[in-house]
Amino acid sequence: MKKIKNLLILFVALLITISGINIASLSQVQAQEEPGELAIIIPGAEHGWLAGVAYFAELKAEELGIENYRILTSSNVNEQASQIDEVLSQEVGAVVLLPHTDELSLSAQKLVDADIPLIVFDRRVDVDYTAYVAGSNPEIGEMTAELLGEELVGEGKIAVLNNPSAGSVSYERVDAFKAVMEETYPDIELVDMTVENFTQEAGLSVATDMLVANPELQAIFSIDDESSLGILQAIKDTGRDDIQYLSGAGGSQAYFQEIANNEDINLFTATYSPSMIGDAIAEAWKVLNGEEVEQDQIVSPTIVNSDNVEDFLDENSPY
């Protein structure tokens, strides 16, 4: 009887041991399967395009059901570099990065060296990133040129907005626009105007002077929605009724509202939307869940006009 009792005790102990091992193994597997934290590092802003980036980042994280994430904002390159050092020390699972400038390349390289997946958004850094997501500046110029060229039947005069301080954003959009015009619509005359920044005030000022210097004009190629709002005000202030078309670029809700409500001039824009941050976050989520992603992803613009603008209105968006 005693022998049987001892065997029962041994059997129960063995079951407990096996159960403990299984529970520990299951916990380890679950820990391994749980995606790591996602750090979203972006420049900070209370309004404008960058504010829209933060807004759409939150929306996408909620849409995908990502719970373990945080958004880090900064006012300059040095602060952003410190944030990268911070997430490195905390061993996050992946990083979505919108750098202030390419000066952040050295800090971004630390993430690559630590084998932390890096999804770069909008502005490139000189590292071997996991993926890069951005809009297409050249396509904005090309698509707008084709639309205006066709609508004007290859004749007339178009004012072209430039902003050298915006670097490649301005050059790529304007150069692509002019290339299409030169090749396909050579009889359309182009008149340049230049702003120092993308604001309504700057757009209003430069457009007012340009309109005085050009008493006849059929269209204006603006490369930014904020600028377009100022240009539109200049057209209204000067009482010009010869201008048939005004373009934009970006995805400003204020400009969308003008497109929806203005009946005096044909308004449209080519999207370079802050909502593209959602594509970058989606790629990071794939990586965190063990999926492969394409390294370079360029998002083509969409032309928004009175026919489809209702699809783009969002009363909660800060941009």
For residues 206 and 195, is the Cβ–Cβ distance under 8 A? yes
Give percent helix, percent strand, percent coil of the chain, each to the nearest 5. Answer: 50, 20, 30
| DSSP annotation of 156 | E
Domains of the chain in start order, with CATH, are 38-135+274-299 (3.40.50.2300), 137-271 (3.40.50.2300)
Q: What pLDDT is recorded for position 13?
A: 52
pLDDT, tens digit, 9 for 90 and up, residues 129-186: 999 999 999 999 999 999 999 999 999 999 999 999 888 899 999 999 999 999 999 9
Q: Residue 162 is which amino acid?
A: N
Structure tokens at 301: 């613009």
Task: Determine the Cα–Cα distance for residues 184 and 161; give it in Å rounded to an integer.
Answer: 20
Q: Where are the beta strands (DSSP E) in the chain?
A: 38-43, 69-74, 94-97, 118-121, 131-135, 156-162, 188-194, 219-221, 245-246, 249-250, 266-267, 269-271, 296-299, 303-304
Q: Lowest mean pLDDT: which of 22-36, 44-58, 188-202?
A: 22-36
Mean residue pLDDT across the chain:
91
Q: How confident is the model at residue 198 (pLDDT cuts 50, 70, 90)?
A: very high
Distance CA 226, CA 200 (A): 5
Degrees to nearest 5, angle at CA 190 with 187 and 193 = 175
| pLDDT of 47 strictly over 90 | no
Helix 200-213 × helix 225-237 angle, to 10°: 50
Token pair for 269: 């824009």
When pLDDT is averaged across residues 26-53 and rounded to a whole number, the result is 77
Q: Which residues pair with 3 in a beta bridge?
A: none
269-292, pLDDT tens digit by residue?
Answer: 999 999 999 999 999 999 999 999
For residue 3, name the pLDDT band (cuts at 50, 70, 90): low
Q: Are strands 296-299 and 118-121 parallel, antiparallel or unpaired?
A: unpaired
DSSP three-state, residue 249: strand
Give the residue-averaged pLDDT of 222-229.
97
The token duo for 212 is 């005085």
Q: How many helices (H) and strands (E) does the chain have?
A: 10, 14
Q: Is-contact 268 219, C-beta < 8 A? A: no
- 231, with CB counted inside 10 A (0-12, 13-18, 19+), is buried
Per the CB < 8 A criterion, the answer to whether 143 and 301 are in contact is yes
Three-class secondary structure of residue 122 per DSSP: coil
pLDDT at 23 over 50: no
Question: Which ranges of 34-119 would DSSP assign to H, the alpha helix?
Answer: 48-64, 77-89, 105-113
Residue 22 has pLDDT above 80, yes or no: no
**What pTM was computed for the model?**
0.81
Helix (H) or strand (E) segment spanning residue 240: none
Strand partners, 269: 304
**Could you tell me the sign of the dihedral formed by the alpha carbons of 202, 204, 209, 214, in that order?**
positive
In degrees and rounded to multiples of 5, residue 250 shows phi and psi of 135, -95
